[in-house]
Amino acid sequence: MRFLCDHMLGTLAKWLRFLGYDTVYPGPLEDNALLEQSRKEGRVLLTRDKALAARTDGGFGIVSDQLEEQLEEVRRAFGITASAALSRCSVCNAEIVRLPAEEARGQVPEHVLSHHTEFWRCPDCRRVYWKGSHYEALQRQISAW
């Protein structure tokens, strides 16, 4: 399942990425550009704009303005799960890859290196991830959903 979130759904886009879904968030675009990108890339367009959702096959109108409710709407409509959680970069959407600990040196704070041995990096934006307190908080939130 691949998604495209319109400019009103940036937080939802980020959380769909946390859940492991290929989710594009292009920012503000004209409706026709969103429709074209959705069609061209085979993505489900998620939008809070009812008229826009009605103009596309496979588009989906999000009703709520609350993140938890938005995720529930998408879960009910598309059966999403968290089976690939935390496998994508939350910033740029690329799939993250394992990074050897020795290569993390100089890319993460020294105290992180002394407490962690597993690292991942985004091949596109080069952001480095590890299982620290932010990871644990995300895991708790994902489990709660």
List the one residue out of 24, 16, 8 whose CA is nearest residue 142.
16
Q: Residue 2: CB partners within 8 Å, gap ≥ 6?
A: 21, 22, 23, 24, 41, 42, 43, 44
pLDDT tens, residue order, the chain (145 aa): 999 999 999 999 999 999 999 999 998 899 999 999 999 999 999 999 999 999 988 789 999 999 999 999 999 999 999 999 999 999 999 999 999 999 999 999 999 999 999 999 999 999 999 999 889 999 999 988 8
pLDDT for res 52: 93
- CA–centroid distance for 27 within its chain: 14
pTM: 0.92
How does 57-78 read in b/e, with b if 16+ C-beta sit within 10 Å?
eebebbeeeeeeebbebbeeee
Judging by DSSP bridges, how do beta strands 119-121 and 128-130 pair with one another? antiparallel
Both tokens of 112, joined, read 């992180």
DSSP per-residue string spanning 36-82? HHHHHHT-EEEES-HHHHHTSTT-EE---SSHHHHHHHHHHHH---S
